[in-house]
Amino acid sequence: MVARIGLMQARRAMSTAKPELVSSNKMFGGLTTRHRHQADTLGCEMGFAVYTPPMDKAVNGQFSVLYWLSGLTCDDTNFITKAGSQKYLAEHGIMVVCPDTSPRGLDLPGQDDSYDFGSAAGFYLNATQDPWATNYRMEEYVTQELRTYISEHFPINEAATGIFGHSMGGLGALNLFLKNRDIYKSASAFAPICHPTTCPWGQKAFKGYLGEDETAWKEYDPVLLLEQTDLDTMPPILVSQGGADDFLTEQLKPETLPSHPNVVVEMHEGYDHSYYFMASFIEQHIQHHAAILSNNP
């Protein structure tokens, strides 16, 4: 018993320990940094990236904060190196935090067999099926452990928190926003998987992580969650979708989102699924969040 208490105390100390700094680069007066820490929720070490604006943009020493969720095959580096967000984050005084897309280094059977399940494909849910249930708890990690960890080590205003993402991460951002309105005050998405219970990516992930009972899948479907939401009182959600996206028809299905003034779906002809698309409209998304978060001092 004493040994168990000692182990729990040691793990707690690791989870609250200052994050290891992997790299740091100055950009637009602020800092783009990468870090590592021990994630108890996931049972592994995890990386995350941060952009901290210049301190003269802070309000009472704190920044509004956005959490970015990346898509399939990505990690914590993709957005921070490709999206071109830092200039606009600096202008608005908003910090961004980019977690990885799944637990890493666990050596679970089948975790690296395909690009759309397992490693780099955590789908931002809490798995209930073996062997994934113990470690694949990305929903809990993002909404609880990482958020608490960031508040302990970075100068953020938790009352002004938003979330956004791309593809699988856009799905995650919409889900976590709709399920945690007390935490996230704003949301947007690039090319999200809108109706995952009806598309191959979602069906494969949900069957593997959540099991055969499709009623459990509904908890992670934005279209179904929006049906249960009072859209009139919900802050507006911005969804940007490229018209030349190869996954548009089979996987993403933006037409299934409800038609409502607070569900803003913008189609951009000629744009694909890549970061070229996201970099083209990232300023608009940051402005969207800034307008909402500025009302949550």
Please confirm, yes or no, whether 167 is among the known catalytic residues.
Answer: yes
* Tokens standing for residue 15: 């989870």
Catalytic pick from 35, 92, 195, 273? 273
Catalytic residue status for 285: no
Catalytic residue (choose from 85, 245, 288, 289): 245
In order of 18, 85, 163, 248, 278, the CA distances from 71 in angstroms are 27, 17, 14, 15, 12
Please check whether residue 150 is in contact with residue 49, taking contact to mean a CB–CB distance below 8 angstroms: no
Report whether the peptide linkage leading into residue 99 is cis, meaning its omega lies within 30 degrees of zero: no
Taking alpha carbons only, the member of 57, 49, 53, 47 closest to residue 86 is 53
**Is 85 a known active-site residue?**
no
Q: Which of 64, 167, 186, 188 is catalytic?
A: 167
Bridge pairing between strands 94-99 and 44-52 = antiparallel
Strands 263-268 and 237-242: parallel
Q: Residue 211 and residue 220: Cα distance in Å, rounded?
A: 13
Q: Annotated catalytic sites, by residue?
A: 167, 245, 273
